[in-house]
Structures are given as C-alpha cells and as structure tokens.
Structure 1
C-alpha cells in the first residue's frame, strides 16, 4: 500500500471495486493513478502551494490543512476511466478532433471534459476540478476562493 498522488492505491482499488463491476490489476490501477495525478497537477489551481514553491503539489492549498476528499475522488474517478480504457474520446480530443461521423450519425466530443488545457476522461472528475481552477492570472482578491 502506497500513496500515489493524493490517494492510497489500496483505497482507490476498494473505491472502484465497490462502485463498478470491473476487474483491474494493481499495476493497471497504479499506472492510472499516476496519470490521473499528473492531470490534476497540470491545472492552475487557486491558492496552490506551487505558487510558493514549484516542487510542491497543488493540494492541500495554502488555505487548507489536508487534501479535500473530492480531489481524491476526482483522482480515483479519472484513474478508473483510464484503467478501463474509456479514455478514447480524450485521445481524440488531444489530437484536435472535435467530432466524428458515421454515415448519417455524428458525434461531437464533450468540451466539458476540459479543465484549462487539461482534458479529463471522467466528466464528474472534470467538474470537481473546475471548482479549483484559477480563471485569471492576476492578483488575488480579498481571500476569495
């Protein structure tokens, strides 16, 4: 049992197995947790400890004592999508593909999966991380989060 990013890998395996009918090896899950963590770290987070020192992680932020539970949940949800191979849309989006068509049917890729320049596989994980995203690069305004 080891901490990968913000989540213990045993905790993540239990979380996924309790919610989804899927078999994932520990190696697949570990790889996916690292990838999900990397995505979270690419987001420009408000009040991130990276502002003080670039070797720090985004969470916990300067206004927090511990990593928020929903950030851990976002990492586990994103890792689930990656580990089960459900990130095909993200691969297409990252290549610049906006839609695809088959005969008379077309499919547009979801822009809601993007947080800044980072594209998530899981819509719920993306929505969670959008709450923490810094929208501007200006000065902070009166302790607003």
Structure 2
C-alpha cells in the first residue's frame, strides 16, 4: 500500500558536547547529541520523533522518543521546518553500534511511521576497559 509522504528528515548529525561532529569514534560514557532537521510536507497533528541504538545482530540497546520523555507532540504545519535533538548517555561496552532515527504520527493507540532511517550514525565505542556485553556496568571489585 502506498502511503502519502507527510514528513521528511532532511539532515542528521551526531555531535559531541562542544558541537563537533563525533562519529564514528566515541568514547564510552560520553554524551553525544543526535540532531535532525525535519520538514513537514503536510499537517502532522501528533508528531513523534525517536531514536534507537542497536548492537550487532539488531539487538536493541535503547530507544527514546519525545513522548517517552514526556515532551508534548506539538502539531506541525505543512512546510514547517524544525530541528529536534536527543542528548544521550553512552554507558556502552567497547564495540560497534548503530543509531536509527524516525518520524511518526500518533494514530489512535499506535504509531504510523512516516520515515525511519536505519543506521544514520555508526558508533565505534572506545575506552571502556575490558567490559564485555553491551553495557559497561563499571563494576568495582572489593575483597575483605
């Protein structure tokens, strides 16, 4: 089924705390920001913007959206352009990760995905010691 296109993600960029582009190499524990330029092609009453971090094999590491974070879904008008961003913690173990980004509209109890970009950022997490798995739990060992 062909669906009408009602939103478009124009540009995506991952920056560090100083605003410099930081992909693909990022340090474990850093707080990068994923910023997207959005243009509404028609009215969107309940827009949802979200990201998902995945590890190899498409294992979902984390996901967030404006509504999950308690931010209102302010309507967009046709032709309106805006910038949205998510600043995230990266308590990840060393390895390769991908960030997906999407735009959706609330449709009753579900979401109508308008555009979903897979792998918009490739992250290579460094400097996390010898942690294995996905999350670096920063364990501290003690013996008495």
TM-score when normalising by structure 2: 0.22
For CA contacts below 8 A with separation 6 or more, give which structure has more relative contact order: 2
State which structure, 1 or 2, has the greater radius of gyration over its C-alpha atoms: 2
**Whose helix fraction is larger, Structure 1's or Structure 2's?**
1
Q: TM-score, normalised by structure 1?
A: 0.22
